Amino acid sequence: MPKPIDALLPEKPAARLRIYAYSIDDDQHAGRLKIGQTTQDVKTRIAQQLKTAAIENYTIVLDEPADRDDGSVFRDHDVRARLKQKGFANPTLEWMECTVDDVRTAIVELRTGQKYEGTHHADFPMRDEQRAAVEKTYDYFESIWAENDDAVPEFLWNAKMRFGKTFTAYQLAKKLAAKRVLVVTFKPAVEDAWKTDLQSHVDFDGWQYLSRETGGDPAGVDPDRPLVFFGSFQDLMGRDKAGNFKAKHKWLTDLMWDLVIFDEYHFGAWRDAAKELFEGEDDKARKKETELEFGADLETFAEELEERGSDEDAFVPIKARSYLYLSGTPFKVLKEGRFIEEQIFNWTYSDEQRAKAAFAAKHPAGSLDYQPNPYAALPEMRLLTYQMPDELIAIASQGEFDEFDLNAFFEATVPSTGSGIQDAEFVHKHEVQKWLDVIRGAHFATQVDALKAGTKPPFPYSDVRLLPYLQHSIWMLPRTASCAAMENLLAEPQNVFWHDYQVVNVSAPGIGVGLDALPPVREAIGNGHDTKTITLTVGKLTTGVTVPQWSSILMLRNLQAPETYFQAAFRVQSPWTIRNPEGDDPSREEILKPVCFVFDFAPTRALRQISEYGTGLAPDEPNPERAVEELVSFLPVLAYDGSNMTQVDAAGILDIAMSGTSATLLARKWESAVLVNVDNLTLKKIMGNQAAMDAVMNIEGFRALGSNVFETVVNKSEAVKTTKKEKGDDLTPTEKKQLTAEEREYKSKRKQIQEKLIKFATRIPAFMYLTDFREHTLKDVITKIEPELFQAVTGLTVEDFDLLVSLGVFNAGHMNQAVFAFRRYEDASLEYTGIKSQVDLREYGLYDTVVAVEKG
C-alpha cells in the first residue's frame, strides 16, 4: 500500500536561531542595547515586542546567526553572560550597557571558543586578490631562503587604495610567523588604519602594538607575542645634529625584525607630491601642512639623504629578515627596474573594476548563487575634459602646445594694501565669471554653438545626469588667494545659482591644518542628502582622507605628476553607502555612489596624465596603447572639443598626450556643424550678393541642389513660422499636415546646404598639409598661400573663400581653433616622418601625387 505523500517528504527544517540587538532613542535607554534571540524574522520579532508599547524610535543594530561551525548553537543569555564576564553592566533583564562592537566580540568568542582582548570582533576572510598577494609574496620569500637562509628578500605590492594593504600585510606577517614587525611610512597620518586593523580583527588577537602616539616601553613587551611597531621614516631613521642615529630609537638596531613594511613607498614620489600639493599655500601654511602630512623631520631627512647620496631604504640602519614595500603609485621604482616581475604583485584600479564586474556576473542578483559583491561599493571613475571657448583660452595659454594654463587663469591677488587674503579677487575676474556660466550651461556663445550642432554638451552643473554627483564636490585651485577669490565670487549677487551650495574654503586662514580642516567639511555636508557643498582647496584633504559624499572633483590647477593627480582624483572614489538604511536590517547596505567624476578644463594635460598613469601601471607592456586601453576600459574618458562631447579611446589619448591633439578629434573639428552658418540671415546675405552665389555654386555638389535652394529654405521656413504664429491652435488637421511636410522639406534642404559647406571645410586641412606656410589663423590661410594650389584642392579661389568668410558663411572663430589644432598636430606628425614641408614632398616625388588625389 503506497504511503501518503506527506510521509515521503522530509520534515520542514527548523529555523536557524539568530541573535539580535536593538537600541531605543531616548534618555532612559541611552548607552544600552537590548539583546535577544529568535527563530523568526528579526524585524518581525522586534516589531511584536514593541508594538504594545507603541515604541517606534528604535534601531536594529545587530542581526547574527547563533550557530557554531560544529552545528551547535549559543543563546542570548550566553551573550549577556559573556558581556558580564568582561565587566559590562546588566541593569535590567535583557538590556546591557555596551556598544554593538562589544556584542560582536562576545558573539565571535562564543562562536570560536576563544577570548579576545579589547573589541576583536571582525572575522571576515581575505578576498581572493589579498590571498593571492600573500601567497605570491610568501612563496617568493621561501624560494629565496631555500637558496640562502641569510638572504633578505624584498617584495613590492603595487596596490591602489582600498585594496586593504594594512590587513593583508598583517596576514602575510602571520603566515610568516613573524614575531617582530616594523611598519615605516612617510605619512604618519595613516597610523589609525594600522592600529585599527590590528586591534579589531580576531586573526590578530594577542598582538602588541606600539608607536610614538601610543607610547610604551619596547623593552617591556612580551617576547612570545607578535609586536608591531609603527613609526615615520623621518622620525625613526633620522639623525641628530651630530649625525648619529637618534638615541631614543637605538633599540630598533638591537632587534632582528622578521618583516619590515615600507608603507606609501616611494619617498621620492611623496617628496615631490609634498612640494606640488602645497606649493600654492603661503610659506607658513605650507610648512605646517607638509609637517602634518609627511612628518616634521621630512626636509631634514631629505637633506641627509642628498648629502649621503643614498636612497632611503639603503639608509636604514636596522637588521631585517625580509622587506615588503607598499604603494599605489610606485612609478619611479618600477621604471628603475629594481623589482623583477616575480617580486611584484599588482592590484590596480582596472583590476578592481574587473573583479567587481566578474563577481556580479558570477553571483547575479536573484540567483541561487547570489552573494553580496565585496567590490560593489567602489564606484567607477569617469574623466570628463572640456575645451574652453576661445575667448577664455586666449586669457591663459602656455606651454609646448599653448595649453590652457589653469594656474594663470585662476590667478588671484589681494586688491589693496592692508586687505587680508579674504578680500582676494581674480586677476581675470570677468573671464572666471564666464567660466562659471559655462560649467552651468549659461554661457550665451556656447549655447548658440550647441543649438547649431543640434546637441547640448553635458556641462557639469547643467546636465541632469551629472548634477546628483555634484551635490558634494571638491574644487582644487592653484593658490590660497584663488580659493578666497572663488569663495567671494560665488557669493556675489549675480551668482544666484551657486548660492544653494555651502562653500567651505579649507585653505582659508584659521580653518586648521591637516586633519583639523576636515570637521568643517563634515559639518557642512551633514548626512549628505539635504545639503549641497563645494569644498575649495589648494592641497588640503587631497591625500589620505575619506569624505564619502564627495562624488566629483574639479581640477582647476596644474598638477604635473600623475602620482599627485590621481591621489587627489581618487579622493572621490571613496564608497558612499548606508548600512541598515531603514534601521531594521543591519546586513543591508545601500550604495549611493555607483560612479564618480573627475572634471578637467585643460584637456591636453588631463589626457597626458591618463596616458602616464596607464603606462606607469604597466611598465613592462611594450604597447603603450594597450596599457592605456586597459585603464580606460574602466575609466571612460569623454572630451568636449568646443562642439561635441565624445569618448576618447586609447589611441586618441596617446595622440593628444604625445602631440597635443589627435587625428580623430582633429577630423571632428573639421566636420563640425559649428564651422558653418546656415541660418536665414546668412542665406539672405548669400542671395543678396551675386559673387557669393557664384562662389557657393562652385563648391562641389551645390549645383545639384539648384540655384533656388536658398530661396526655398528661407521662404518656406519664414512662411511656416508666420502661419504657426498667426493661427496657433486654430490650425486644422489638414493645415497641420501640410505645415509638417513643408517644415520637413526646408529642414532637409537646410541640412543638405550645411553638409555641402562642411564637406568643403574638410578640404582645408588637405591644402594646409601641402603648403609651406605655418598658418595659425584663418587669415593666414586666405592670405599667405598659393592661389592655384588652394583652388586646386578646395575648388574655390582665395577671393571667393575670403568673401564667404566675410559674410559669415564660415565661422571664423571656430575655424581659427581648427586651423591651429591642425598645424599643431601636423608639425608633430611631419617631424616624426621626416617630411617637414611641401618642399620635402616635392623632393620625394610625392607633391603631384597628393595634389592629384585631392583633386579627385
Q: Which helix (H) or strand (E) holds 756?
A: helix 733-761
Query: What CATH number is given to the structural domain containing 485?
Result: 3.40.50.300
Are residues 353 and 286 located together in one domain of the fold? no
pLDDT at 779 (0 to 100): 62
In a domain, 13, yes or no: no
Comparing CA positions, the residue from 653, 658, 660 lying closest to residue 635 is 653
Is residue 555 exposed (0-12), middle (13-18) or buried (19+ Cβ within 10 Å)?
buried
Within 10 A of 1 (CB to CB), how many other CB atoms are there?
3
Could you give the residue ranges of the DSSP H alpha helices within 35-99?
42-51, 76-85
Q: Pick from 63, 91, 112: which residue ends a domain?
A: 112
Could you give the residue ranges of the DSSP H alpha helices within 265-348?
267-277, 283-294, 298-308, 331-336
List, in sequence order, every residue forming a beta bridge with 412; answer none if it has no partner: 426
Look up residue 212 and give its DSSP letter.
T
Is residue 753 exposed (0-12), middle (13-18) or buried (19+ Cβ within 10 Å)?
buried
Region class of 243: left (phi > 0), else alpha (psi between -120 and 50), else beta: left
421 HSE (CA, 13 A, CB side): 13
φ, ψ of residue 34 in degrees (nearest 5):
-85, 125
Are residues 163 and 106 located together in one domain of the fold? no
Cα separation, 570 vs 379, in Å, equals 10
Cα separation, 675 vs 761, in Å, equals 8
Are residues 712 and 835 located together in one domain of the fold? yes
Count of structural domains within the chain: 5
Q: Are strands 33-38 and 18-24 parallel, antiparallel or unpaired?
A: antiparallel
In a domain, 136, yes or no: no
The set of cell numbers assigned to 776 is: 595659425
Cα separation, 476 vs 606, in Å, equals 14
φ, ψ of residue 845 in degrees (nearest 5):
75, 25
Are residues 591 and 550 located together in one domain of the fold? yes
SS3 811: coil
The set of cell numbers assigned to 785 is: 598661400
Comparing CA positions, the residue from 647, 626, 618, 625 lying closest to residue 635 is 647
Do residues 657 and 609 touch, judged by C-beta distance below 8 A? Answer: no
In a domain, 146, yes or no: no
The set of cell numbers assigned to 169 is: 600585510
Do residues 548 and 575 touch, judged by C-beta distance below 8 A? Answer: yes
List, in sequence order, every residue forming a beta bridge with 473; answer none if it has no partner: 534, 552
In a domain, 305, yes or no: yes
Are residues 334 and 353 located together in one domain of the fold? no
Look up residue 550 and give its DSSP letter.
-
Comparing CA positions, the residue from 16, 58, 23 lying closest to residue 37 is 16
The set of cell numbers assigned to 606 is: 588631463
Q: Kindly tell me the sign of the dihedral angle through the C-alpha atoms of 273, 278, 279, 284.
A: negative
Do residues 457 and 645 touch, judged by C-beta distance below 8 A? Answer: yes
Is residue 585 exposed (0-12), middle (13-18) or buried (19+ Cβ within 10 Å)?
middle
Look up residue 517 and give its DSSP letter.
G
Are residues 356 and 423 located together in one domain of the fold? no
Are residues 484 and 529 located together in one domain of the fold? yes
Within 10 A of 176 (CB to CB), how many other CB atoms are there?
19
SS3 25: coil
pLDDT per residue over 248-277, tens digit each? 777 777 788 999 998 877 555 555 555 665
Are residues 407 and 505 located together in one domain of the fold? yes
Are residues 325 and 286 located together in one domain of the fold? yes
Within 10 A of 684 (CB to CB), how many other CB atoms are there?
14
Cα separation, 273 vs 673, in Å, equals 43
* Residues constituting the chain: 856
Cα separation, 611 vs 412, in Å, equals 31
Are residues 370 and 388 located together in one domain of the fold? no
The set of cell numbers assigned to 261 is: 613594511
The residue range of the domain holding 76 is 18-112
Comparing CA positions, the residue from 573, 561, 623, 161 lying closest to residue 383 is 573
Could you give the residue ranges of the DSSP H alpha helices within 179-266?
191-200, 233-236, 250-254
In a domain, 655, yes or no: no
Give the torsion through C-alpha atoms of 766, 768, 769, 774, to 10 deg: -170
Cα separation, 670 vs 769, in Å, equals 14
Quote the longest CA-to-CA distance of the chain.
108
Q: Pick from 347, 364, 399: which residue ends a domain?
A: 347
Are residues 848 and 753 located together in one domain of the fold? yes
Q: Pick from 347, 363, 392: which residue ends a domain?
A: 347
At residue 39's C-alpha, the angle toward residues 36 and 42, to 5°, is: 60
Do residues 89 and 50 touch, judged by C-beta distance below 8 A? Answer: no
Query: What CATH number is given to the structural domain containing 265?
Result: 3.40.50
153 HSE (CA, 13 A, CB side): 21
Are residues 317 and 414 located together in one domain of the fold? no
pLDDT per residue over 70-86, tens digit each? 667 888 888 998 898 88
Cα separation, 159 vs 347, in Å, equals 4
In a domain, 120, yes or no: no
Do residues 760 and 702 touch, judged by C-beta distance below 8 A? Answer: no
pLDDT at 835 (0 to 100): 40
pTM of the model: 0.67
339 HSE (CA, 13 A, CB side): 25
In a domain, 666, yes or no: no
Q: Are strands 552-555 and 533-537 parallel, antiparallel or unpaired?
A: unpaired
Look up residue 384 and give its DSSP letter.
E
Look up residue 782 and give its DSSP letter.
H
Within 10 A of 606 (CB to CB), how many other CB atoms are there?
26
In a domain, 646, yes or no: no
Please list the ranges in the chain whose pLDDT falls under 50: 1, 5, 8-9, 12, 304-315, 399-402, 661, 774, 828, 830-856
